[in-house]
Structure 1
């Protein structure tokens, strides 16, 4: 039986205080099994990115329970959350978030070194070669195209061998042709590494690539 990687039960998220208090997530139930690729589809403001933030431990749920890779993320302190992400969760965002003063190789290698991963350099070399950037690994982000920068971001996410990959609008800053290649690569790397994959998107064409689609609207699972 496939292991459950994500289990959300009646998850709620409320931000702000007083008159500015806003209910973002309104009782979300969601599961992801090992080997699954799930797309969370919704319009801007529907709560899909906030849902991913709760899964990644970047936001703490205001209510309900969020279990990720067997851990109750709501009960972990910041150090434990950072270790969980560094060891077992790869994150790819719309903004590439590469460090401008580091080469592509260093952007992939340094997070692994900080997490205490063995052979960080060789693993970074191998992953950049896998995403087609073996000849660009000593280039800085400003010397790379948008598609190349997102490939570096994918390599950074997958090099540690995570059990879970989270991608939030990974093609949002790319043209359609480049974005299509990035989606191909993301699903391919998830399949090859065996990681569970959650892709946050507003694009039905991206959602069609997933094995299951969850639609979110107004902070609730709609379908």
Structure 2
């Protein structure tokens, strides 16, 4: 498949961040969460944001994905200047550009698997939403679970539906925040393998937020955060070109 990057996106960088800062609260209660992040993410790479609780990795994901506005700094994501957008505009900018997989799945319990994947596509005006949803579920091994509701699925199956939903719109950028946090080790390994396979097949950039070093080292690159700054940025030689 060809890369899903929109024509307006930079040739090499899907994310460019400069002196990115996030402060929550005001006055004496203000807390600086991100304290000057400089980060370039290449189109098509897999990158782990690694760090313990409180290191700033989830806050950085929220800013990079447009779920939270940076307090200051420069940020371009998939060809869009996120620093110039308000919350409503950020929500629109995420559409078609960013897919998100969360630890808690966040499937709608009253919708079947195929409805959970197709409905966001329909709302975005994507043609052939139901066929694409069915094909994406087939690709993650759930072609036989199209009409099942979340309560009828295992945790691993629910996370696969979430992966299908995140990838179905063919975004250039996918974030996965602790994607195996609610799964046992064997199921988590299977889900991660599926996530990496689908990323490779679609050509998307994948950013995984995790505290698990073994998971992080499955990526091309590991960026470790500590106290709101980048403590290290390491490319895994064996993963280059994977």
What TM bracket, shorter-length normalisation?
A: over 0.9
How do 1:132-147 residues align onto structure 2 when only pairs under 5 Å count?
Answer: 132-147=141-156
Unaligned runs of 5+ in 1: none
1:174 aligned partner? 183
- Deviations 1:158-213, CA, capped at 9 Å, x for gaps: 01111111111101111111111111111111111000111000001111110011
Q: Does 1:102 align with 2:111?
A: yes
Q: Does 1:74 align with 2:83?
A: yes
Q: Is the 8 A contact 1:5 1:70 kept in 2?
A: yes
Structure-2 separation of matches of 1:129 and 1:10: 42
Q: Is the 8 A contact 2:69 2:87 kept in 1?
A: no
Unaligned runs of 5+ in 2: 1-9, 233-242
Tell me by how many angstroms 1:70 deviates: 1.5
Structure-2 separation of matches of 1:112 and 1:19: 44
Tell me by how many angstroms 1:74 deviates: 1.9
Tell me by how many angstroms 1:2 deviates: 5.0
Secondary structure of the corresponding residue to residue 96 of structure 2: helix
Structure-1 separation of matches of 2:93 and 2:202: 18
Structure-1 separation of matches of 2:94 and 2:71: 21
**Which of 200, 207, 210 matches 1:198?**
207
Secondary structure of the corresponding residue to residue 190 of structure 2: helix
Structure-1 separation of matches of 2:31 and 2:69: 15
TM-score (norm 2): 0.89
Q: Is the 8 A contact 2:73 2:83 kept in 1?
A: no
TM-score (norm 1): 0.97
How do 1:1-223 residues align onto structure 2 when only pairs under 5 Å count?
Answer: 3-223=12-232
Tell me by how many angstroms 1:77 deviates: 3.1
Structure-2 separation of matches of 1:66 and 1:221: 16
Structure-2 separation of matches of 1:81 and 1:59: 9
Structure-1 separation of matches of 2:73 and 2:92: 23
Structure-1 separation of matches of 2:215 and 2:11: 25
Q: Is the 8 A contact 1:86 1:111 kept in 2?
A: no
Structure-1 separation of matches of 2:89 and 2:125: 14
Tell me by how many angstroms 1:39 deviates: 0.6
Q: Is the 8 A contact 2:18 2:38 kept in 1?
A: yes
After superposing on structure 2, the runs of 4+ consecutive aligned residues of structure 1 that deviate more than 6 Å are none
